[in-house]
């Protein structure tokens, strides 16, 4: 466009000079003008070569000049990371940037925007991958990693842009990885990514055609023909059908061929590739005619490939966190107030409580924001809004005097007293825990354990008013020794969400009422009672509609009401007496 404007100006100027006078003067000026025109064209050619790219001055693609006159340039960025802590590590790779020239951008602005976004995402992800050594930890002091992505344009016309993307990566200390490739299709006019369903107007019967073509193309693959599903359908046909139905068939239309690339393990249980091509004329009953005709012509006239060397990036080794806590010897801390108790909660800690009452209501019901900001292990624990101990491991809370146990309470009947969430290896010794409210009004539990494991309790007194003395949700390995649960208004224990290995030893359960005492109605997991005493409780001993077969009683004593219920439903639980089957 700019060339045409310059020519028009020059022609007008020449005519004007000729009509005004000296012909020789006009020739002189015309020679000067021709020279300027030639220089202007050269400048324009150089400018066009670097226009419409996001490359820095030192990143100009090789072969600049004529290459940028083509509609699309695929600039391969070569990137490297260096690791300050280990100079022997090598991490490098490449990724393609798809650059649309100015004229093509003006004709297809949505496609240009899509390519810019796609290239940016490729660049960002690849750079992070190289910087982080493939998100892995080197297996040796001197190791290398490489990750290369290349792009080959297969189709570029006024309807479809198709590019073959190939990825290749490996670490020097592991087995080699095979490269793999896939097709990426874009609608030129809308700029939208095209998935396989866009190519079809009819899907019924297409899978069989593709399967038959695979069989014909790879006749030596006997397992492809003989291996079937339990319904007698060839495995490959079953996979191809799913790909078509769910729009992830790896396909494109190039020239007059419908091309499909089945990668390793995609249609058979092997690492072979299965590539097929079918003339589009043979699939006219299935294909969307809007995308069939490929008018690309000579692809080399439309696409140029260059290389760009990027700056070196600062590498960082990705350290995989498997969630294993860092256990250390417990630090012993003595406390005498609720505030000191809260401040002491942390992993690898043994908290010793002096005798007395610890009212933690303000921390459970509605803790201040500044308090939460400064206490990393006290936080939101359940869906009804209460707070408690979170994500702590290897911690003990213990009363200093087992004969004069400290008492932990709250003054609300609507919240659990002491809650542990996401915790591991917690020990509670010599404690009294309960609600400091009028008996009978509670709808919350005393001790609640969410998504935790390895909780051991010794010499606890869990009292009502509390709905249940112990509540376990999605937890396992909870052990209660020499403890007592009494005066709770709903029952003894409520177990939910596949909690298992909830074990009571030599413990007493008395004066609890009035629903199911051992409620595992929403749980499938094992509950054990060994040498425990049940007395003066009212309500069903266990739920008849849950999974009582997971409850085991061994050498336990029962009051009259509990014994009557147990005898009536004896065959529903596991019962041992004097160490043998009862």
- Alpha-carbon distances, residue 133 vs 127, 198, 317, 377 (angstroms): 10, 37, 6, 33
Mean pLDDT of all residues in 119-138: 90
Q: Specify the higher pLDDT residue, 510 or 579.
A: 510
**Is residue 477 helix, strand or coil?**
strand
Of 108-122, 458-472, 518-532, minimum mean pLDDT range: 518-532
For the chain, percent of residues with pLDDT exceeding 70: 85
CA–CA distance, 521 with 500 (Å, rounded to integer):
13
Say whether pLDDT at 66 is over 90: no
For the chain, percent of residues with pLDDT exceeding 90: 65
Say whether pLDDT at 86 is over 80: yes
Residue pair 263/164 in contact by the 8 Å Cβ criterion: no
**Following DSSP, what letter does each residue of 262-302 receive, concatenated?**
E-TTSSSSSS--EEEEEEGGGGTTTB-TTTT------GGGT
Of 45-54, 100-109, 361-370, minimum mean pLDDT range: 45-54
CA–CA distance, 448 with 13 (Å, rounded to integer):
92
**Residue 115, φ and ψ in degrees, nearest 5:** -65, -35
Question: What is the structure's pLDDT at 51?
Answer: 38
Q: Specify the higher pLDDT residue, 3 or 220.
A: 220
Q: Which residue blocks in 295-352 are alpha helix, DSSP H?
A: 338-344
Question: What is the structure's pLDDT at 440?
Answer: 60
Residues facing residue 519 across a β-bridge: 494
pLDDT digits (tens, 9 = 90+) for 336-357: 999 999 999 999 999 999 999 9
Of 24-38, 180-194, 304-318, 473-487, minimum mean pLDDT range: 24-38
Averaged pLDDT score across all residues of the chain? 85
Say whether pLDDT at 177 is over 80: no
Helix 206-217 crosses helix 235-245 at what angle (to 10 degrees)?
140
Residue pair 122/96 in contact by the 8 Å Cβ criterion: yes
Measuring CA to CA, which residue among 442, 376, 384, 383 is closest to residue 409? 442
The 3-state secondary structure of 134-181 reads HHCCCCCCCCEEEEEEEEEEEEECCCEEEEEEEEEEEECCCCCCCCEE
**Following DSSP, what letter does each residue of 185-218 receive, concatenated?**
EEETTT-PEE-GGGGBS--TTHHHHHHHHHHHH-
Measuring CA to CA, which residue among 175, 153, 155 is closest to residue 166? 153
**Residue 501, φ and ψ in degrees, nearest 5:** 55, 55
pLDDT digits (tens, 9 = 90+) for 493-510: 999 888 999 999 999 999
Which residue's entry shows tokens 């810019």? 116
The domains found in the chain, sorted by start residue, are: 2-50 (no CATH), 66-314 (3.30.565.40), 331-581 (2.160.20.10)
Of 27-31, 162-166, 214-218, 270-274, minimum mean pLDDT range: 27-31
Structure tokens at 397: 């809370």
Mean pLDDT of all residues in 196-218: 95
Structure tokens at 487: 């005066």
pLDDT digits (tens, 9 = 90+) for 400-446: 999 999 999 999 888 999 999 999 999 999 999 999 887 766 678 99
Q: Specify the higher pLDDT residue, 42 or 221.
A: 221
Distance of CA 497 to the CA centre of its chain: 23
Position 223 confidence tier, pLDDT thresholds 50, 70, 90: confident
Mean pLDDT of all residues in 77-97: 92
Structure tokens at 439: 């008996």
pLDDT digits (tens, 9 = 90+) for 12-39: 333 333 333 332 333 244 344 444 444 4
Mean pLDDT of all residues in 529-546: 92
- Region of 371 (left: φ > 0; alpha: ψ -120 to 50; beta: rest) is alpha
**Following DSSP, what letter does each residue of 70-118 receive, concatenated?**
SSEEEEEEEEEEE-TT-TT-EEEEEEEEEEE-HHHHHH-HHHHHHHHHH
Residue pair 428/460 in contact by the 8 Å Cβ criterion: yes
Strand 180-187 vs strand 418-421: parallel, antiparallel, or unpaired? unpaired
Q: Specify the higher pLDDT residue, 65 or 562.
A: 562
Question: What is the structure's pLDDT at 366?
Answer: 86
**Following DSSP, what letter does each residue of 349-387 receive, concatenated?**
EEEEEPSSEEE-HHHHSS--HHHHHT-TTEEE-STT--E
Of 173-177, 287-291, 331-335, 558-562, minimum mean pLDDT range: 173-177
pLDDT digits (tens, 9 = 90+) for 379-388: 988 766 789 9
Please tell me the chain's helix, strand, coil percentages from 3-state DSSP, rounded to the nearest 5: 25, 35, 40
Question: What is the structure's pLDDT at 57?
Answer: 38
Describe the strand order of the beta sheet including 274-279 as a list of residue ranges: 251-254, 257-262, 274-279
Q: What is the CA radius of gyration of the chain?
A: 38
CA–CA distance, 193 with 184 (Å, rounded to integer):
8
């Amino acid at each position: 466009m700019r060339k045409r404007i310059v020519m028009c100006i020059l022609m007008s100027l020449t005519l004007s000079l000729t009509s005004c006078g000296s012909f020789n003067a006009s020739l002189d000026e015309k020679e000067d003008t021709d020279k300027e025109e030639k220089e202007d064209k050269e400048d324009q050619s150089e400018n066009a070569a670097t226009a419409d790219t996001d490359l820095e001055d030192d990143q100009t693609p090789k072969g600049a000049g004529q290459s940028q006159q083509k509609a699309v340039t695929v600039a391969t960025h070569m990137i490297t990371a260096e690791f300050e802590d280990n100079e022997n590590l090598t991490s490098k790779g490449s990724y393609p940037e798809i650059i649309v020239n100015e004229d093509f951008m003006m004709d297809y602005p949505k496609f240009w925007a899509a390519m810019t976004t796609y290239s940016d995402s490729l660049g960002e992800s690849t750079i992070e991958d190289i910087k982080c050594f493939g998100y892995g930890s080197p297996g040796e002091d001197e190791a290398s990693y490489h990750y290369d992505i290349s792009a080959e344009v297969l189709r570029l016309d006024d309807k479809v842009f198709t590019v073959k993307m190939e990825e290749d990566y490996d670490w020097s200390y592991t087995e080699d990885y095979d490269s793999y490739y896939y097709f990426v299709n874009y609608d030129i006019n809308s700029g939208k990514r095209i998935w396989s369903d866009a190519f079809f107007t009819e899907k019924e019967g297409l899978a069989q055609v593709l399967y038959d073509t695979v069989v014909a193309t790879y006749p030596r693959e006997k397992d492809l023909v003989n291996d079937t599903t339990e319904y007698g359908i060839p495995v490959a046909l079953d996979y191809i059908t799913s790909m078509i139905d769910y729009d992830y068939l790896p396909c494109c239309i190039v020239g007059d061929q419908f091309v499909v690339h089945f990668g390793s393990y995609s249609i058979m249980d092997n690492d072979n590739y299965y590539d097929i091509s079918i003339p589009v004329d043979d699939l006219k009953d299935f294909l969307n005619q809007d995308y069939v005709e490929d008018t690309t012509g000579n692809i080399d006239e439309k696409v140029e490939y260059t290389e760009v060397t990027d700056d070196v990036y600062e590498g960082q080794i990705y350290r995989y966190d498997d969630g294993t806590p860092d256990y250390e010897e417990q630090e012993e801390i003595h406390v005498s107030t609720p505030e000191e108790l809260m401040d002491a909660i942390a992993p690898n800690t043994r908290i010793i409580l002096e005798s007395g009452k610890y009212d933690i209501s303000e921390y459970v019901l509605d803790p201040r924001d500044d308090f939460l900001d400064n206490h990393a292990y006290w936080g939101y624990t359940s869906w009804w809004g209460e707070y408690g101990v979170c994500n702590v491991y290897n911690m003990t809370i213990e009363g200093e005097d087992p004969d004069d146990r400290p008492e932990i309470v709250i003054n609300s009947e609507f919240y659990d007293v002491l809650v542990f969430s996401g915790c591991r290896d917690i020990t509670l010794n010599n404690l009294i825990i309960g609600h400091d409210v009028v008996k009978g009004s509670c709808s919350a539990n005393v001790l609640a354990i969410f998504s935790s494991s390895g909780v051991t309790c010794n010499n606890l007194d869990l009292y009502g008013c509390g709905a249940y003395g112990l509540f376990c949700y999605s937890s396992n390995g909870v052990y209660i020794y020499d403890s007592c649960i009494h005066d709770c208004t709903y029952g003894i224990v409520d177990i939910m969400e596949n909690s298992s290995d909830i074990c009571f030893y030599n413990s007493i359960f008395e004066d609890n009422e009035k629903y199911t005492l051992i409620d595992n109605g929403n749980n499938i997991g094992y509950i054990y009672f060994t040498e425990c005493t049940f007395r003066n409780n009212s309500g069903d001993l266990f739920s008849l509609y849950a999974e009582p077969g997971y409850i085991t009683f061994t050498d336990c004593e029962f009051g009259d009401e509990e014994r009557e219920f147990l005898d009536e439903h004896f065959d529903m639980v596991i019962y041992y007496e004097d160490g043998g089957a009862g």
